[in-house]
Chain A
C-alpha cells in the first residue's frame, strides 16, 4: 500500500506548508480554425435545405420552419430532407447533394 497517504506526508501538508502535486488533465487537441462559407446577399429566390437529423421529432419541427417560410418568405424555396442514417454518423452524400442543389441549409433540432 505504498501509495496510500503516508503519515509524514499528511502531517507535512497540514497548516501553511505547501505541497506540489501533478495536473490530472489530458492534452487537448490543437484547434484548427475552419473557414465559414460566404454568406448569402439575401434569401430571395434561393433554395434552402432543411436537414432533419431524425432525432426526437426533429422532422416535425422542421415542417413548421418550412411552413414559416411559406407564410412569411414565399420566394424562398425550401426542401426538407432527412439525413441518410442516425444523426451520429456523417452524411457526405447528403452534404454533396445540398452543395450541388442548394444555396443554404438549416439543421435542427439535434440537441
Chain B
C-alpha cells in the first residue's frame, strides 16, 4: 500500500517486492486501492532469517510467480509505461444484492459454503422471516448503517447495515434477544477475522445486566462450548466480521500462517461480576454497573495457565508465566473467582489496579533478549529508534539490564469461572474497546 501511495500520490515511480505467499493478497489490495497495474515482483518466502548469500540468491534469481528474473521485473516496473489493460478489467462500482437467488436448501448451503460465507460449519439459512425476527429486537432501522470494518490496515473499509448484521446473526444460530449484543460488536469496527500472519483471534467479555437477561454463562465452563448465548454470539461475531469486511479467505484476505482455534467461537463469555471481588471490567472503562457492554480484545494467541496462587513461590510462578508470554502481546489475567481472591490474600491486591501495577513491575526481561524478538523488531524497535517513549528509554538499557515488557495500560484483569477449582490463565491479547449494548437495543 505504501508503494501505491508513493507512486500515485507523490508521483514517484515505485516497485514493491513481496514474498510469493502474498501473491493473491497483493493482487487484491492493489485492485481495491484502484491501481491494478501497480508494479511489483516476488521473491521466495521467507526472507526472515536468511543469510546474506541466500538473500543475494533471491535478488539474482527468478520470481517464483512469473518465472522471470526479479531484477528485470524491478527495472521494468520503474521504466515500462502503464498499459491500462488491467484497468479495463476492473470493476469500479459494485454493489451487493440484498437477496440470493432462490434455490433448494441443499444448493443454498452449498452456495454459502462455496462463497466462503460460513466458518465451514453448518449455518442457519437467513430467510427473510428469520432476519425479520432478529430485526424486531432492536429499535434501529434495518437500512441504518451499523458500521464499517476491514481485515487489516492495508485494506479499505466495507460498510454494512443493521440488516446485514441480522443476516449473519441468523446464520450463526443466534436468538433474536442476543441481537443488541451482536450489533454492539459489529458497530465496534473491530474485526474478529483480522488478517495477520500471526493468526490472531478475538475475545469478547460481556458485562452488565444483559448477561443475565440472555442467560450467558460466566461460571463453570463459560469459555467452553456449553452455553447457547456465549457460543452463538461469538460465532455471529466471527461470521459478521468475515462477511461484512469483504471476506476472510486464506491466501487472499486472511494470511494467518497456522490459523487459530480460538477463532471458532471468538472466546465470548460474561464476566462473573457476582463472584468477583473487584469492580466489573466495564466499570473500569467508564461505564456504570447497570450499563450493559461488550469489551473486545484482539491478538489472542499465547496462553499460560496454572492452578492457584501458592504462598511461598507465587511471585516466581507468575513472573515465569509472564516471561513465557509473547513479549509483544500484553497479558490479560483471566481469573477464576477463587484465584482472584487468592491474589488478594497473597499480594494484598484489593483492586484490579493494584494487581496490574504488580504485573507491570514484575514482567521483566533482559533488554538484549527483549529487543531480539522478531515481533519486537517489527513493531516496537522502529518506534523506539524514532524516540517514542517508553520504548526509546528501554533501548538505552544494557543487554543484561532487566527492562519492563509491557505498559500498565496494556495489562488487564477479568474474572470468569465457576469455582470448581482455582485455575487461571494469562491471555496474551490487546484490549481494543468497550461498546455499549444498550445503545443497540
Contacts and interface: CB of A to CB of B under 8 A. Distances in A.
Interface of A: 1-5, 9-10, 13-43, 48-49, 51, 53-58, 60-61, 63-65, 67-68, 72-73, 82-88, 90-91, 95-96, 98-99, 102-111
Contacts of A14: 105
B239 A90 contact: no
Interface residues of B, number: 114
Contact of A95 (B6, B58, B108): B6
Contacts of A33: 34-35, 87, 90, 92
A3 B37 CA distance: 47
Interface string B374-410: 1001110111011010000000000000000000000
Contacts of B22: 111
Contacts of B99: 20-23
B149 interface: yes
A22 B382 contact: no
10 contacts: A2-B176, A21-B100, A22-B100, A26-B149, A26-B243, A27-B160, A30-B93, A34-B34, A82-B382, A95-B5
B243 A61 contact: no
A85 B35 contact: no
Contact of A104 (B12, B87, B240, B382): B12
Contacts of B2: 51, 53, 83, 87, 90-91, 107, 110
Contacts of B98: 22-23
Interface of B: 2-19, 21-22, 25, 31-35, 37-38, 43, 46-50, 52, 55-56, 58-60, 71, 74-75, 78-82, 87, 90-100, 102-105, 108, 112, 115, 117, 124-131, 133-134, 149, 153, 156-161, 163-164, 167-168, 170-171, 173-176, 197, 239-240, 243-246, 255, 374, 377-379, 381-383, 385-386, 388
A40 B34 contact: no
B103 A90 contact: no
Contact of B19 (A68, A96, A111): A111
B6 A35 contact: no
